[in-house]
Amino acid sequence: MDFFESYGLILILLAGGVGFIMAWGIGANDVANAMGTSVGSKALTIKQAIFIAMIFEFAGAYLAGGEVTSTIRKGIIDSSFFTDIPELLVLGMISSLLAAGIWLAVASWLGWPVSTTHSIIGAIIGFTAVGVSMDAVAWEKVAGIVGSWVVTPAISGVIAYLIFMSAHKLIFQTASPFESAKRYVPFYMALAGFVMSLVTIKKGLKHVGLEMSAVNGYILAVVIAVLLGVLGKWYIGRMKFSGSEDADLQAANVEKVFALLMVVTACCMAFAHGSNDVANAIGPLAAVVSVVSSGGEINANAKLAVWILPLGGLGIVAGLALFGHRVIKTIGQGITHLTPSRGFAAELAAACTVVIASGTGLPISTTQTLVGAVLGVGLARGVSALNLGIVRNIVVSWVVTLPAGAILSIISFYILRASFGV
């Protein structure tokens, strides 16, 4: 087609640029999902958290970001509507990446933890519904996303509440918290090992070509859980604290164990996030490169060009380094006061919800999952423990994300159409 022969290189360069902006936004906003609780509970400083997250997010994005990625995220639009007008799909995907990237930059600057997945989906819906056809949008999937705004935080909140209250009653409210910790912490370590193994297997390793059957995945997770439980019992058994210490001092020492656990879970979540959510940036980018390279042919899946994954990984790291601290502060310090045990409960609950969603097909946002978990931990101490002003702002930002992405995408789409004379 003349359009792709004339503008092919320009379109790919433009898509690469806005893809980097989108990946930058993912790093700036979503990294708080993995590291916010660690910083809020003072298990890590912000600099340490950003450094660790840069390593694991990039490793996840680059090593496990997927050689083949779906060109249309979540099947939210019907690509058959674009068969005769592939140039509009290309311009629309570029518009979507730019729109979602801008919205994520604004939200990150304001310290709002929003969903990067919902940002790009809202943008894709916007240009498709207004610029092509309302019928091209799978509206039932949009309804599922809106429903997830309530379901996802509720599930993770309940799980976090239960995990925290169990630790509170079994360990921290006993006469000798350290002796209780020797008995029960290995079980929490085993549970963490089981859940984080499943998250890594389901959200990370499948992209590297190491996808295993569900049964083998669960067997491996159980083996890792048992090993971690045994290791935890040995480790905590070697810790020497005076039995004469009062309960408060013993509890403070037990918190150090939970701090170490939380850092490990945060690293796993960062790797899983990098491998999974980088697709929000590289999926539309891969679609553009695929359509342009084939002269207008639209494929359901696109083989990734070698430069796309590193671009996504570098974008995530850049956004994280420059703006990541703002959203980390909101999740870690703004919603409620966190200790290592509370942060561990929230992180583990978020991971449990990711596993449940993977098994049931529930559409979730990792951001909303973790915020719900932090809320659940806060509610364990009563509503007064929550900063309701911050919670209100977060909820409003969730509701605004889909339409904000859509409006910005529509504006960008029409500007690009005019610029390219389509």
Number of domains in the chain: 1
Q: At what angle do helices 340-360 and 32-40 cross, to 10 degrees?
A: 160
Nearest CA among 112, 23, 58, 56 for reference residue 265: 56
Distance CA 355, CA 149 (A): 17
pLDDT in tens, 82-137: 888 899 999 999 999 999 999 999 999 999 999 888 899 999 999 999 988 899 98
pLDDT in tens, 11-30: 999 999 999 999 999 999 98
Distance CA 301, CA 56 (A): 26
pLDDT in tens, 26-55: 999 987 777 888 888 888 888 888 888 888
Confidence at residue 278, expressed as pLDDT on a 0 to 100 scale: 78
For the entire predicted model, the pTM comes to 0.87
Distance CA 282, CA 180 (A): 48
Strands, E, within 32-88: which ranges? 68-70
Q: Residue 178 corresponds to which amino acid?
A: F
Region of poorest pLDDT, from 56-60, 165-169, 249-253, 356-360: 356-360
Distance CA 46, CA 304 (A): 34
Q: Residue 392 corresponds to which amino acid?
A: R
- Give me the domain span that covers residue 211: 2-420
DSSP 330: I
For residue 167, pLDDT over 50 is answered with: yes
Using pLDDT thresholds of 50, 70 and 90, give the confidence band for residue 80.
confident
CA distances from 408 to 27, 99, 101, 102, 285 (A): 20, 5, 10, 8, 18
Max Cα distance, the chain (Å): 83
Confidence at residue 404, expressed as pLDDT on a 0 to 100 scale: 96
Give the residues across from 302 on adjacent strands: 69
Give the residues across from 137 on adjacent strands: 77
pLDDT in tens, 209-260: 566 777 888 888 899 999 988 988 888 877 766 555 677 788 888 888 888 8
CB neighbours (10 Å) of residue 12?
18
Q: What is the rounded average pLDDT of the residues 1-15?
A: 88
Are 294 and 90 contacting, i.e. CB atoms less than 8 angstroms apart?
no
Q: Residue 320 corresponds to which amino acid?
A: L
Q: Which two tokens stand for residue 410?
A: 């529509």
DSSP 224: H
Confidence at residue 416, expressed as pLDDT on a 0 to 100 scale: 95
For residue 4, pLDDT over 90 is answered with: no
Q: Which two tokens stand for residue 392?
A: 């209100």
